[in-house]
Structure 1
């Protein structure tokens, strides 16, 4: 015969609530009340059979939960692995800023070699224009730096979907950005392997800080 503890472990919440009410109504112990409730749930089968079935049900649910958690953990690990940059790749970040928009443009960028050393840091004012032009000018700067460094494989991070989508489009692209797209592709053609990755602004803080810093520089300033 199952113990009170056995019944408590396998009873559903509504059955435990019902047994407490029944105990008060009939002035009997919670143990006896729960036994009556569970006997009703068991129907024609014995309490032992019901308890064993409920235990198997709980074990199955636990196994499913563990499997689901493991699947999520595996998916996260796979995603993190996929997002890891190629150790042989050069890494670049770019960002363009305008105050106001359109207005004075500042561009920022960084280029790191596969060892993680900053090879080029870019921060200069770039005349007047809108945010998309500023972003493209920043992209030109990191691409040119990569060409000068003769990087074989380059991963470029930026937070401008407009520019990243435009430079990678297989269609005509935005007409107003046509000349900039052409220039970017000319630079890309000088590199063996270029990959673009969009990142949110908060993850592009280094390039963003350099572009914001550039806004304060004289418009005649150019990189060395």
Structure 2
């Protein structure tokens, strides 16, 4: 740091302004004017003492600012971690005696639907189903998968039950108001609510796709089987008897 930088770093805004006026009025370099101003401010203690004292004050303020930033960053990180934990809790929830996963797909979309469900009971035994589910779009396929899972849960007397799916459309539609439901999905929604009435201790939770791998694999197996059935159908040629 050169002398001018050191002087400017020590000077207040008032001292800088006064030094500029002095330089103009006396026709002297700004550095000389600033040195004169600060020497006056230093009084009997001397300029060097003033510069050292103000440098120490700047260092202390910088340390306090760093501490504030560190504390603020720590608070933000703690809030981020808490939000992540809450999101995971909402997604995964506390473990219940029964847990189920569902997934559905349509290929093409809309197209032939394949659905897959997995239900685990309190003894750890799992029920896995993979089947065709008619024609429709991906949301209809997801809904039909949820219906199959709930029908399976009713058949096994499941409860309390936590249901997991990666379709925000279906989860939000089931949990939302009827007025907000798409007309094409309302019959499926009604069937789900009728089943939920028979499973009163049931909670639906959204999970990301990568956490729904088993149900996804089951639904993909169903759509793959559909594709194989189509490939196995022999084409009908004109004129064939």
Normalising by structure 1, what TM-score? Answer: 0.71
- Are residue 191 (structure 1) and residue 195 (structure 2) matched? no
Q: In the alignment, is the contact (CA less than 8 A) between 1:106 and 1:214 conserved in 2?
A: yes
Q: Which residue number in structure 1 is paired with residue 57 of structure 2?
A: 53
Q: CA deviation at 1:98?
A: 1.1
Gapped regions of structure 2 (runs ≥ 5): 12-37, 43-49, 228-241
Find the aligned partners of 2:67 and 2:122 in 1 and give their Cα distance. 43
Distance 1:72 1:166, change over 3 A: same
1:144 alignment partner, one of 151, 167, 180? 151
Q: Within 5 A, what are the aligned runs for 1:29-48? A: 33=2, 35-43=3-11, 44=38, 46-48=50-52
The number of aligned residues is 186
Find the aligned partners of 2:73 and 2:156 in 1 and give their Cα distance. 45
Q: CA deviation at 1:154?
A: 2.6
Q: Indicate the structure (1 or 2) with the bigger Cα radius of gyration.
A: 2
Q: Which residue number in structure 2 is paired with residue 130 of structure 1?
A: 137
Q: Which residue number in structure 1 is paired with residue 22 of structure 2?
A: none
Gapped regions of structure 1 (runs ≥ 5): 1-18, 20-32, 220-224
- Are residue 73 (structure 1) and residue 73 (structure 2) matched? no
Moved over 6 A (4+): none
Find the aligned partners of 1:52 and 1:138 in 2 and give their Cα distance. 70
Find the aligned partners of 1:72 and 1:89 in 2 and give their Cα distance. 36
CA RMSD of aligned residues (A): 2.5
**Structure richer in helix, relative to its length:** 2
Q: In the alignment, is the contact (CA less than 8 A) between 1:98 and 1:130 conserved in 2?
A: yes
Specify the SS of the correspondent of 1:217.
Answer: helix
Q: Within 5 A, what are the aligned runs for 1:94-105? A: 94-105=102-113
Distance 1:113 1:71, change over 3 A: farther
Q: CA deviation at 1:118?
A: 5.5
